[in-house]
Amino acid sequence: MSELTTIDAQTAYGPVSGIVENGITRFLGIPYAAEMTAERRFAAPVRPEPWEEVLPAHTHGSTAPKPELAGRLGELMSDPDVVGDRPDEWLNLNVWTPSPGTQTQLPVMVWIHGGGFTTGSSAVPVYDGTTFARDGVVCVSINYRLGVYGFGRLEGAPDNRGLLDQLFALEWVRDNIQQFGGDPDNVTVCGESAGAMSVLALLSTGTSLFHKAIVQSGTAHLGQSPGDAALVMNDVAKRLNVPATVESLAGVEVAALIDAQNLTSADITKTASVAKYGASTIASCGMSFMPVIDGDLLREQPIKAISSGQGSHVPLLMGTTTEEFRLFVTTSFLAGWDTPILFKPRIKAYGAPDGSYDTYDVDGPVYPRKAAPGVASAVLTDRMFRIPTYRVAEARTDDENTFVYEFGWRSGVTPNNVGVELGACHSLDLPFAWDTLHLPESKAFTGPDAPQALADALHGTWVEFATTGGVNWQPYDEARRTVMCFAHDNTTADTAVEDPRSGERLWWKDALPRT
């Protein structure tokens, strides 16, 4: 075991101390904004009070309030709930670097975690930035406000507080990362799931705070209307027997507010409740909280802004897994549904074209579909992730700087009582991209035999893109539609394929608009 030492670095607010191990220094839990006291929880982030003594940044900072991951999903995925020395200091970040205290101008990667805008944090073990620092990239991961605190719409409070937190953290990176060996003019922002949706939302604002972007399992088609967002918050407040105002909710205990949020979120996932929460995509995606089209930070749905050219100069790497939605089917009661009639109403409620179930009811050589959960997973994978990814790529073809990939290796883990495997599901790619397959938390998801060669390939691609803005395959265009398929045949092979599963892509031709 290597001997651990410490080293100091200076930030704009005060000095911090990090831990050096095997040539990599990690600084954990650095505050980038002021503590979230009751009066600040629904306000825009502000600068923290400066400090003079060295602040130990040796352990993860407090995580933002969130519900516990329950059931089979909680058994599969680690989501630590951290209460640090400063419990209200939710807005903190981590830095891993091979060159602290120098100005070596290394590329920088800023990670925005996923979790449906209600769960997740930078403390998830899989997100160990040591691997990126080992490969010459300064890695930063951030916490931001979630659920009601980050995305609940309230009169008198700014909308999209979680996105404002992300932008505030990116400002911290711009102003401080040189002290950690990073180049503030070579910043790649990246995220998965809600983190990827956040990246696309930020891209659509035209911000200059990052220079490249990686989007894994994201969509630019989300964005709730102010009216629908208010319906959600009114439901949360009703469960607490208080008005839906900043003053009332600021006085509610955090745990009680999260409990009420959880009940509303569970109601939104019910097919029969779709109409109750309005006509925006909040109903058709089953998510309770997400960015709001507020007319300020987000003036329109991100896909529309991107189609108009916002962020077109930013090189973009986008990926999906082949069977994204299997995660949500196999870890819920849906895994036991065995007839089409059970899934067809849900597919329709989520916005798939009529006839989608029957169109997808075919078996493939690797990705089994004939069972009802597999067919529904395939339809909803395309509805929620693959087709929205293509729509963003199609909107940016004139710039020749958008690259698309698909991750197809299948996990044999069966988190249910009916033998339905995870397959190439949502989030399975993360321990590969982060090169953290060795962790117990990763093995619970991948099983014991995940191929390291595939991690080398995907992780290496992210490092190459963060460093240069390029990859080893052609940009996406509407003539060839090149997609790099990592392990498309369930091996460690990676092959550039032109227009994979074109028939299913064409099925969505008139759905999910490009603008």
Please list the active-site residues.
193, 324, 426
Phi-psi domain of 453 (left: phi exceeds 0; alpha: psi -120 through 50; beta: other): alpha
**Six-digit token string for 147:** 């659920």
CB 127 within 8 A of CB 77: no
Contact by Cβ (8 Å): 119, 198 = no
Angle among Cα 234, 240, 243 to the nearest 5 degrees reads: 50
Token match 């992300």: residue? 166
Tokens matching residue 347:
């597919």
For residue 80, give the 3-state DSSP assignment.
coil
Which residue from 424, 461, 469 is spatially nearest to 217, judged by alpha carbons? 424
DSSP state for residue 337 in the 8-state scheme: -
448-473 CB burial, b ≥16 within 10 A, e <16? eebbeebbebbbebbbebbbebebeb
CA 363, CA 375: separation in Å to the nearest integer?
A: 9
Are 421 and 412 within 8 A, CB to CB? Answer: yes
DSSP SS3 for 457: helix
Query: To which residue do tokens 């691609």 refer?
Result: 461
295 sits in the region (left: phi over 0; alpha: psi -120 to 50; else beta) called left
Contacts of 77 (CB under 8 A, 6+ apart): 69, 427, 441, 445
Encode 149-158: b = buried (16+ Cβ within 10 Å), e = exposed: bbbbbbeebb
The first and second tokens of residue 496, run together, are 């550039």
Residue 56 has phi, psi (to 5 degrees) of: -65, 120
Q: Which residues have C-beta within 8 Å of that of residue 251, sequence separation ≥ 6?
A: 38, 242
- Going from the C-alpha of 377 to that of each of 139, 290, 350, 420, 439, the distances in angstroms are 33, 22, 12, 12, 28
